[in-house]
Structure 1
Amino acid sequence: MKVLVIEDNESVCSMIEMFFVKEGIQGEFIHDGKEGYERFLNGQWDLLIVDWMLPGMDGVTICRKIRESKYEVPIIMLTAKDSESDQVLGLEMGADDYVTKPFSPLALMARIKAVTRRVHYISKNEESANIIETNHFKINKDTREVFLDGEPITSLTPKEFDLLYYFIQHPRQVFSREQLLDRVWGYQFYGDERTVDVHIKRLRKKISTSTHSFFHTVWGVGYKFDETVD
């Protein structure tokens, strides 16, 4: 795994690097936001870890610019900001996960594994593809392509894709926020369950049509995906 870390605190970088060595992760560490963003553009990365507060360019701006450019690399944001509004902002800008300082290196490693576990790559010579087709959607798990009524949807973040794929696999089933965090995020989430709400809100904006919203809130329980109702 090749990971770019954009973090201006050298002590934090040293701690992360130590655990990267233990886990066999190839890490590159940049201490300036603008320099880190340029390095991201000029490399191939399996994961980006970015601090919120950075010289040159802040982490939220980096996330936004990456998502606007349609890059699908998973992003974990590190920050000393722990308010609900800050977390929601980070997720809205495209981060897949949010780790508040100070943090346990072991917990960060668990988050890294969970975020990257569901990002799949296939070679050009792969003959088979894991494809689901419904009345409105065609979704390829291996190439991570999504088509809505024949038109490609190219703006999904990796976690949005994972969430949509999971729901399409389980049409009309109702899932609580806790179940979705466990099954899509892949670990017991100890933060704010609004993470799910933010991702559902973004998916609704990106895939809803004039006749279908697809994602439905089941009050007091959670969410379900249903193509059969508007």
Structure 2
Amino acid sequence: MSQAKASILLVEDEEHLLDALKLNLELEGYEVTTAGDGVAALKAVENEYFDLIIMDVMMPEMDGISATESIRIRKNEVPILILSAKNSSTDRVLGLKKGADDYLTKPFNLEELLLRVEKLIEKNKKIQEKDTIGEAYSFGNNNIDFKAQEATNFKGEKIQLSKKESMLLHLLIENKNEVVTREKILQVVWGYNVYPTTRTIDNFILSFRKYFEEDSRNPVYFHSARGVGYRFVEGE
């Protein structure tokens, strides 16, 4: 681990387990804040930055799945590891669908938990360190001004971009050469309260090809990964 202590929010209503987990996480060098239910967890997230949340499912006031969903609705991308006594595939899928990054069933092996915690925190740090692209970006003979929400394409044509077009372009370019999942696009561009169809996002990609590709039928920059998401590839 790096010298800077990673901070963890531990959400668990079972006092003995809470104390044992807190002690073991602190022995690993983490700073640990605790909460006894989902409501307290949401308050903590509003007031403090965390590198990871360990979230129990069965709790009073607000359960862990609802708390996870609420955190994601607020567009907070902190990694969330769910702990649950429910071990069916249906429960696991629900937890992941609501925004959890990992799901561990009780009873669990402490060493496995600590390993998963370390992996999630390291993965999040790499994402945080990713270079941002700033207010303007050029590729090929296309130029985009994100602040003005406009572009000049390879033909010299001025294109006025909608807010969502600009946001989606920014997201794809910032993650260039990587597939951006449909779920990630939903979270960043539309928010979780609105669910566009896959066709809606496809239409945005088709527009980008029309704007920026010399041959829209054989795209160089904007690609669809069928059933997964979309990718911007930096051209030669």
CA contact (8 A) 1:6 1:50 kept: yes
Measured in 2, the distance between the counterparts of 1:69 and 1:44 equals 14
Counterpart of 1:202 in structure 2: which amino acid? E
Q: 1:215 aligns with which of 186, 206, 225?
A: 225
Q: Secondary structure at the match of 1:5?
A: strand
- How far apart are residue 57 of structure 1 and its match? 0.4
Task: Tell me the number of residue pairs that the alignment of Structure 1 and Structure 2 aligns.
Answer: 173
Q: Secondary structure at the match of 1:209?
A: helix
Q: Secondary structure at the match of 1:60?
A: helix
1:86 aligns with 2:86: no
Flag the structure with larger Rg. Answer: 2
Measured in 1, the distance between the counterparts of 2:92 and 2:74 equals 22
Structure 1 31/153 Cα, relative in aligned 2: closer, same or farther at 3 Å?
farther
Measured in 1, the distance between the counterparts of 2:25 and 2:124 equals 19
Matched with 1:42 is 47
Measured in 1, the distance between the counterparts of 2:55 and 2:169 equals 26
Counterpart of 1:209 in structure 2: which amino acid? D
Q: What does residue range 88-107 of structure 1 map to in structure 2 within 5 Å?
A: 88-107=93-112
Measured in 2, the distance between the counterparts of 1:82 and 1:153 equals 39
- How far apart are residue 169 of structure 1 and its match? 3.1
CA contact (8 A) 1:78 1:98 kept: yes
| Gapped regions of structure 1 (runs ≥ 5) | 123-127, 139-146, 172-198, 218-222
CA contact (8 A) 1:204 1:214 kept: no
Question: Cα deviation per residue 1:175-229 (whole Å; 9 max; x = unaligned)?
Answer: xxxxxxxxxxxxxxxxxxxxxxxx9563576683226582225xxxxx796669x
Structure 1 38/205 Cα, relative in aligned 2: closer, same or farther at 3 Å?
closer
Matched with 1:129 is 131
The root-mean-square deviation of aligned C-alpha atoms, in Å, is 3.7
1:12 aligns with 2:22: no
Structure 1 87/201 Cα, relative in aligned 2: closer, same or farther at 3 Å?
farther
Q: 2:177 aligns with which of 169, 186, 209?
A: 169
Q: 2:59 aligns with which of 54, 63, 68?
A: 54
Structure 1 107/57 Cα, relative in aligned 2: closer, same or farther at 3 Å?
same
Measured in 2, the distance between the counterparts of 1:203 and 1:47 equals 18
Q: Secondary structure at the match of 1:119?
A: helix
Structure 1 216/10 Cα, relative in aligned 2: closer, same or farther at 3 Å?
same
Measured in 1, the distance between the counterparts of 2:164 and 2:77 equals 19
Matched with 1:187 is none
Q: Secondary structure at the match of 2:226?
A: strand
Counterpart of 2:63 in structure 1: which amino acid? D
Matched with 1:196 is none
Q: 2:167 aligns with which of 140, 151, 170?
A: 151
Identity of aligned residues (%): 27
CA contact (8 A) 1:74 1:116 kept: yes
Matched with 2:183 is 202
Structure 1 153/23 Cα, relative in aligned 2: closer, same or farther at 3 Å?
farther
Structure 1 130/203 Cα, relative in aligned 2: closer, same or farther at 3 Å?
closer
Q: Secondary structure at the match of 2:203?
A: coil
- Superposition TM-score, scaled by structure 2 size: 0.60
